[in-house]
Structure 1
Amino acid sequence: MRMLVLAAIGLLALPALAADPLPRGTPESLGFSPERLGRIRTTLEADIARGQLPGAVVAIARRGRLAYYEAFGHLDGARTRPMPIDAIFPIASMTKPLTGVAMLTLLEEGRLSIGDPITRFFPQLGNRQVAVDGNPERLVPATRPITLIDLARHTSGITYGARGTTALHRLYPPSSSGAAREFDAAGLITKLASLPLLYQPGSTWDYSLSIDVLGLVVEQVTEQRLGEVLEARVFRPLGMVDTGFLVPEASRARYATPLPTDPATRQPQQVEMGLVQPRFDCGGGCAVSTAHDYLRFAQMLLAGGRLGEARILSRSSVAEMTRDHMHAGIANNLTGTEGNMVNWGFGLTVAVRREGGSALLGNPGMFSWNGAYGTAMFVDPHEDLAVVFMAATPGLLRQYYRRVINALVYQALDD
Structure 2
Amino acid sequence: MQGGIDVEPRAVGLCPERLGRIDGWMERLVADGRLAGLSVMVARAGRTAYFRGHGLADIARQKPFAPDTIARIYSMTKPLTSVAVMMLYEEGRFQLDDPITRFLPEFSDMRVLTGGNRVKFESEPARRLITIRDLLTHTSGLTYGFMEATLVDALYRQNGIDFGEAQTESLAAVVERLARQPLLAQPGNEWNYSVATDVLGHLVAVVSGQDFADFMRDRILAPLGMVDTDFFVPPEKIERFAANYSLFRERSLKLYDDCVGSRFARPPAVASGGGGLVSTAGDYMRFCRFLLGRGALDGVRLLGRKTVDLMLTNHLDGDLAAMGQPRFSETAYTGIGFGLGFSVMLDPARAQIVGTPGEAAWGGLASTAFWVDPAEDLAVVLLAQLIPSSALPIRRELRVLTYAALVD
Task: Tell me the TM-score normalised to structure 2 length.
Answer: 0.91
CA shift digits 1:111-159 (9 cap, x unpaired): 1221121111111111111001575621111000001000011011111
Q: Write the distance in 1 (CA, Å) between the matches of 2:112 and 2:68.
A: 45
Q: Partner amino acid for 1:293?
A: D
- 1:297/1:383 CA distance change after superposition, 3 Å: same
1:113 to 87, 95, 107: 95
CA shift for structure 1 position 101: 0.3
Q: Write the distance in 2 (CA, Å) between the matches of 1:219 and 1:66.
A: 35
Task: Find the counterpart in structure 2 of residue 4 from structure 1.
Answer: none
CA shift digits 1:268-304 (9 cap, x unpaired): 4413352232212110001100000000001110111
3-state SS in 1 of match to 2:88:
helix
Q: Does 1:139 align with 2:132?
A: no
CA shift digits 1:25-82 (9 cap, x unpaired): 2100111111111111111012212211111121111111111112221111336122
Q: Partner amino acid for 1:237?
A: P
Q: Write the distance in 1 (CA, Å) between the matches of 2:243 and 2:353.
A: 27
CA shift digits 1:325-381 (9 cap, x unpaired): 002597254574245343101111100111351133211101101000111001111
Q: Partner amino acid for 1:165?
A: A
1:9-48 alignment, distance < 5 Å: 20=4, 24-48=6-30
Q: Write the distance in 1 (CA, Å) between the matches of 2:168 and 2:382.
A: 30
The runs of at least 4 consecutive aligned structure 1 residues that moved more than 6 Å come to none
Task: Find the counterpart in structure 2 of residue 353 from structure 1.
Answer: 345
- 1:240/1:267 CA distance change after superposition, 3 Å: closer
Q: Write the distance in 1 (CA, Å) between the matches of 2:29 and 2:161.
A: 29
Task: Find the counterpart in structure 2 of residue 410 from structure 1.
Answer: 403
Q: Write the distance in 2 (CA, Å) between the matches of 1:204 and 1:134.
A: 21
- 1:336/1:186 CA distance change after superposition, 3 Å: closer
Task: Find the counterpart in structure 2 of residue 127 from structure 1.
Answer: 109
1:160-309 alignment, distance < 5 Å: 160-173=144-157, 177-178=163-164, 181-259=167-245, 262=248, 264=250, 268-271=254-257, 272-309=262-299
Q: Does 1:56 align with 2:38?
A: yes
Q: Which runs of 5+ in 1 are unaligned?
A: 1-16
3-state SS in 2 of match to 1:198:
coil
How many percent of aligned residue pairs carry the same amino acid?
Answer: 39
- 1:265/1:114 CA distance change after superposition, 3 Å: farther
Task: Find the counterpart in structure 2 of residue 322 from structure 1.
Answer: 312
- 1:265/1:206 CA distance change after superposition, 3 Å: farther
Q: Partner amino acid for 1:210?
A: A
**Greater mean alpha carbon deviation, residues 217-226 or residues 256-265:** 256-265
Q: Partner amino acid for 1:125?
A: F
Q: Write the distance in 1 (CA, Å) between the matches of 2:66 and 2:161.
A: 29
Task: Tell me the TM-score normalised to structure 1 length.
Answer: 0.89
CA shift digits 1:160-217 (9 cap, x unpaired): 1122433221111488644772532122122112211110011100010100001100
- Confirm or deny: 8 A CA contact 1:134 1:198 kept in the other structure: no
**Greater mean alpha carbon deviation, residues 291-300 or residues 329-338:** 329-338
Q: Write the distance in 1 (CA, Å) between the matches of 2:166 and 2:222.
A: 24
- Confirm or deny: 8 A CA contact 1:72 1:83 kept in the other structure: yes
Q: Partner amino acid for 1:118?
A: I
Q: Partner amino acid for 1:377?
A: F
Q: Write the distance in 2 (CA, Å) between the matches of 1:28 and 1:227.
A: 40
Q: Write the distance in 2 (CA, Å) between the matches of 1:402 and 1:133.
A: 37
Q: Write the distance in 2 (CA, Å) between the matches of 1:26 and 1:223.
A: 46
3-state SS in 2 of match to 1:373:
coil
- 1:328/1:389 CA distance change after superposition, 3 Å: closer
1:333-348 alignment, distance < 5 Å: 333-334=325-326, 336-338=328-330, 340-348=332-340
**Greater mean alpha carbon deviation, residues 282-291 or residues 110-119:** 110-119
3-state SS in 1 of match to 2:121:
strand
Q: CA RMSD in A?
A: 2.3
Q: Does 1:74 align with 2:56?
A: yes
- Confirm or deny: 8 A CA contact 2:115 2:121 kept in the other structure: no
Task: Find the counterpart in structure 2 of residue 9 from structure 1.
Answer: none
Q: Partner amino acid for 1:409?
A: T
